[in-house]
Chains A and B, each alone.
Chain A
Amino acid sequence: MSGFLLRRLGASLLLLLLVLTVTFFLLRLLPGDPMHLFEGQRLTVEQQQKLEKYYGFNRPLPQQYAAWLAAVALRGDWGTSLSQQRPVTSALLEALPATAALASAALGVEYAAALLLGVAAAGRRRSAVDHAIRIGSLLLFSLPTFWLGLMAILLFSYLLPVLPASHMHSVDAELMSPVGWLFDLLRHLTLPALVLGLSATGGTARFVRASLIEVMSQDYIRAARAKGLSELRVVWVHGMRNAAVPLIQLFALSLPALLSGSLVTEVVFSWPGLGQLTFNAILTRDYPLILGSTALSATLVILGNLVADVLQALVDPRARDA
């Protein structure tokens, strides 16, 4: 198992390096440059040159790459954000908890809803319930997240004002007790998590349904039924245990989707996470911040896959030797 882990870890690091290298050079191919952040500020030509020198943009690209890579690899120094004028790591670390909170809440929503809907649909194949769930899933899946977000705001913040429309906290959150603060956070988390989670539910529910239907036709399920076990137990204990194996893979694969989906959700709900941070960094050509954020997202995605592989290997020994 340790050999397997080492192999996977090595491959992951290599992949990370590849992603960052490609991002580094692709970014520089983009038209526009970070000095236009200062557009409207009338930098003199000398000032612009001075700043370019200061940030090292005047050196040949391969040299810049080598310097950047050395700083990252040897000193763990991701550089300074050009738009925020502070270390990239501090900007990322500040945004990470918000995205983590949103992504895990959304994952919770997604899988809870998908399991319920998928099992319900699988248990009543081709019934009205199955059709309704299929159409509902398809609808949720097809609606753009920003539209869903705006509708949620309209519905729950304006027409029926029960939940806040945006941000992670109320204006006065700092003055609240710890319990009040947490409650405030949960209230703010509800709408974005529901929107992000439910928009991904459709696909996952279909997957659960298909996987469960396949499992439920197996002999051992028939045996379980023959033993006289309750249908609930047959489905949730015997059926789901095997139907869930492919779901682990899906779970890991939903991380990138969540991260990219959270970009739109974060902007609509003014959620202070990585999505918004990256979005602004790209608009301002904030190279160091874009690279830092890409590295973080890529690491999360690779880690997700790694964990999935390990879990897979644990439940299915055949995967280890593959």
Chain B
Amino acid sequence: MLTKRKVLRASSLALLVGGLLLAGCKGGEERSAASSSAAEPATPRRGGTVVLGWTGEPSGVNELTDPSSLPTLELLFRLYLHLLEEQPDYEVHPPTLAPQLAKSYEWSDGHKTLTFHLREDAMWSDGVPVTAEDVRWTWQAQVNPDVAWDSFDAKRWITDVEVVDPHTVRMRFSRVYAKQLLDANEGVILPKHAWEKLPFSQWRQNSEWFKAHLVVDGPFTVSSWVHQQQIVMQRNDRYYEKGLPYLDRAVMRIVPDQASAFAQLLNGELDFVPQIAPSDVPRVKANPRLQLIEYWFNLYVTVVWNNERPLFSDPEVRQALTMAIDRQTIVDTVLGPFGRVATSPITSLVWAHDKSIKPWPYDPAKATAILAAKGWKDTDGDGVLDRQGKPFAFDLITNTGNQLRSDATVMIQEQLKKVGIRVTPRQLEWNTMISSILGGSFDAAMMGYSLDTSLDMTTNFHSRAIAEGGNNPRYRNPEMDRLLETAASQPEILAERPYLDRIQQILHRDQPMTLLWESKRLTAVNKRVRNVKPTVAASLFNLKEWWIKPEG
């Protein structure tokens, strides 16, 4: 569903931009994260404040116009509700969608009409009921060109949203496809009565107006917002789940510097830091007040080869490159126990991951043989392979501020040197790097990606997506295009399985990118805070159920 999709999308961005980026995958119980305490006392306690450390500030309270960074979405999804809530249970099947604003839904008209029945006890924080009018108006805002919502694509096939009665709303689709329900559910429902006063044409540039006219239906509201400092989330007493949230307040403290955030976690100023570096783990474990929560994360780090460059246009050469990189050693060195070699964009914690795919072995001899067969030999004895007078040499770019990745680029440089390939690692500032990647003016780039739970890889590998900026390796394969289209047009996600398997196998064979690792996300939390269960979808996924252990 969307919620998760957006979060994942934003999180991969944040990981790229920011610091640590751990990601990973693995099935099993670890996935949905251990609770913050093994033996929870039976009754949670009401009251108290937790202080959360975030490196970035949310950009606003309007999902449709405020740039969606990870902190923005973490905040927004505590303030507003979706029709349905996607559950983090996609290890064995596509994620289930639990009731949220909608208590039930049904399909009709050959799977082209979707009817939602809304709960009657949901209310905005000013006492006005949440109704089907809000749902319809939210859709109108989402598709309005002046609003220019970044996830507008999700609503592309919805032709109408009709109010049947105050608590029944009907959505019509122009076609049947796999992620219809996810698309219907994309985006939080917004308060029509409070926000319709500002014409859509004025929505951009008016971030502060929405803060001043904040009306929410989620478990928390915002009681104060000081830029670059903190955002105080306060319990919304009109939230429909009576008794929740347990906390009085949750304060998002903005701490841009990772090292400062960690220091504040150690001295007790912060209760929670969503992501720490592997190198900080021993100090968390040594501190009796802190607990480490580790869980495999749905993000993979990869070397993107620019398939349009002659050096990387041949799938067999790309295979050779993969075999010349000792990925296990890289993972062991930069991540230790918190990472493992990745084999597919559908990471191994997801139900559709193709377990039959085995990682390409580290085999420099075979790599050398393949390259030689392709005409790459060191004819001038300078230690670098050449062909028709041109050396096998390229730049490997990655973004600044990410130690793990810059370490990995240097290791790749060393490893490829052994087979006669000259790599020059270059670190670029994020915006500069993205610019060269989108423009196709790069050789190879180290990037992190996460695939949302719709598992739709059209934006990543369809040749059409090259111009749109999603297909970064600039990979073209008509068979892949067909498979992606067929998969997406199945009536439900589960039915995509055979196509997804085939897609994964072709990607493994063609190696448009060399997947490096999946990794764990490492969250640190003060033990006084109980029932903390971060998920791949959101660090604050169950914030409404957190509670504070009484002193002593």
Contact = CB atoms under 8 A, between A and B. Distances in A.
Contacts of A283: 17, 429-431
Contact of B253 (A50, A171, A276): A171
B260 interface: yes
Contacts of B207: 84-86
B13 interface: yes
Contacts of B267: 157-158, 161, 165
A272 B436 contact: no
A174 interface: yes
Nearest to B264: A165
B59 A84 contact: yes
Interface residues of B, number: 56
Contact of B206 (A43, A86, A169, A269): A86
B10 A40 contact: yes
Contacts of A84: 59-60, 207, 227
B435 A270 contact: no
Contact of B229 (A36, A161, A272, A285): A272
Contact of A94 (B152, B206, B227): B227
B108 interface: no
Nearest to B206: A85
B269 interface: yes
B151 interface: yes
A46 to B, nearest CB: 8
B198 to A, nearest CB: 13
A80 B51 contact: no
B431 A285 contact: yes
Interface stretch (A25-33, A197-205, A221-229, A312-320): A25-33
A166 B264 contact: yes
B463 to A, nearest CB: 16
A85 B59 contact: yes
B266 A41 contact: no
B263 A90 contact: no
B227 A83 contact: no
Interface stretch (B61-69, B174-182, B338-346): B61-69
B260 A270 contact: yes
A167 B229 contact: yes
A90 B59 contact: no
Given A42-B151, A171-B51, A272-B228, A50 B67 contact: no
B163 interface: no
Contacts of A9: none
Contact of A40 (B68, B152, B232, B255): B68
B227 A44 contact: no
A186 B152 CA distance: 47
Contacts of A16: none
A150 interface: yes
B525 to A, nearest CB: 17
**Which of A164, A165, A269 counts the most chain B CB atoms within 10 A?**
A165
A42 B204 contact: no
B205 interface: yes
A268 B267 CA distance: 16
Contacts of B229: 167-169, 270, 272
B67 A37 contact: yes
B168 to A, nearest CB: 31
Contacts, number: 150
Interface string B147-183: 0101111000000000000000000000000000000
Contacts of B148: 43, 47, 50-51, 54
Contacts of B230: 167, 171
A154 interface: yes
B254 interface: yes
A158 B253 contact: no
A80 to B, nearest CB: 4
B145 interface: yes
Given A31-B435, A154-B263, A283-B430, A54 B204 contact: yes
Contacts of A276: 228, 256
A9 to B, nearest CB: 33
B228 A270 contact: yes
A54 B200 CA distance: 13
A47 B257 CA distance: 33
B153 A44 contact: yes
A216 interface: no
A168 B292 CA distance: 29
A165 to B, nearest CB: 5
Interface in B182-237: 204-208, 224, 226-230, 232
B208 to A, nearest CB: 5
B378 to A, nearest CB: 34
Interface in A252-273: 267-270, 272-273
A30 B266 contact: no
B104 interface: no
B505 interface: no
A195 interface: no
Contact of B257 (A171, A267, A272): A267
B450 to A, nearest CB: 10
Interface in B405-436: 429-432, 434-436
Contact of B256 (A40, A54, A169, A267): A267
A172 B224 CA distance: 11
Given A47-B150, A150-B259, A272-B229, A165 B468 contact: no
Given A54-B148, A146-B257, A171-B253, 7 more contacts: A31-B431, A157-B264, A165-B264, A169-B229, A267-B256, A270-B228, A270-B253
15 contacts: A31-B431, A38-B67, A41-B150, A42-B151, A44-B153, A85-B65, A150-B259, A157-B263, A165-B269, A166-B264, A167-B229, A167-B230, A270-B254, A276-B228, A285-B431
